[in-house]
Structure 1
Amino acid sequence: MEQWEPISFNELSDEIQKSELDLSEELSNFWQLIKIDPIKWSEKDYGDEGGGFWVVALCGDKIIWYNDIEEGFNISNYNKLGEIKDYCCNQDELSWAVAKLFNFIKFGESLIQRTGPQKS
């Protein structure tokens, strides 16, 4: 069995660049407002092994981050910079996560679908 390796900064950057091509003009404009240089944030339940998870966008009290265990982007809350509050295990493309967050802002909380364990 192959040992799990966390995604590298360069691999993540390539994934982001590919996903940016899939964004509509409206979502691309939104992405330009919320994206940040990827930075690792801690996550208390599953984040220790890989040195944290890459956060790629900040919007209010929400972040978009890459779960490299599940190989997908997620939207979570945070209370403190550098700490992911809610672990999620979606396997979303970045463009899907950006669209979900955009629609959340536009239409409300009920549009963000989550999978996996939810922590309060």
Structure 2
Amino acid sequence: MWIPISLKKLENLILSGELELEDELLNFWNLIKIEPRKWQEEEYGDEGGGFWVVAIFGNEVIYYNDIEDGFNISEYKTYGQIREYHCSQSELNWTVIGLYERIKIKN
């Protein structure tokens, strides 16, 4: 039986990911991170009361999908509602790197 991740376990995953970030990436993370907060997601998020959003940048969020055990990026239109379900099993540092690289390419 699946059990949603606890805030304490999530915080440990975040701390572990932060240790892997340096320089520009750590600065970027420190600018976008928020206190973890549960956001709704229509497709799969109801069972666990939503997914933990850990960072916001523009109209995108980084959230932890505890069904698949990984961090993901999704757009949002309404604060508190994740727009797209993703099932990457990425660690936080790789997700932050991915978002940062996308931003660098656009600029």
Q: Identify the TM-score tier after normalising by the shorter chain.
A: over 0.9
Bigger relative CO (Cα 8 Å, ≥ 6 apart) = 2
TM-score w.r.t. the length of structure 2 is 0.97
Q: Report the Cα distance in structure 2 between the residues aligned to 1:104 and 1:33, rounded to whole angstroms.
A: 16
1:48 is the counterpart of 2:42: no
Q: How many residues align?
A: 106
The answer for the alignment partner of 2:100 in structure 1 is 102
The amino acid of 1:73's aligned partner reads F
Q: Report the Cα distance in structure 1 between the residues aligned to 2:37 and 2:11, rounded to whole angstroms.
A: 11
Q: Report the Cα distance in structure 2 between the residues aligned to 1:39 and 1:71, rounded to whole angstroms.
A: 17
Structure 1 vs Structure 2 CA RMSD: 0.6
The answer for the alignment partner of 2:21 in structure 1 is 23
Deviations 1:38-81 (A, max 9, x none): 00000000000000000000000010000000000000000000
Q: Report the Cα distance in structure 1 between the residues aligned to 2:88 and 2:65, rounded to whole angstroms.
A: 8
1:90 is the counterpart of 2:77: no
Aligned with 2:3 (options 5, 13, 17): 5
- Which secondary structure does the structure 2 equivalent of 1:87 belong to? coil
| Unpaired stretches in structure 1, ≥5 consecutive residues | 109-120
Share of identical aligned residues, percent?
A: 56
TM-score w.r.t. the length of structure 1 is 0.87
- 4+ residue runs of structure 1 moved beyond 6 angstroms? none
| Unpaired stretches in structure 2, ≥5 consecutive residues | none
1:37 is the counterpart of 2:4: no
The answer for the alignment partner of 1:58 in structure 2 is 56
Quote the offset at 1:88 in angstroms.
0.2
- Which secondary structure does the structure 2 equivalent of 1:43 belong to? coil
Quote the offset at 1:101 in angstroms.
0.6
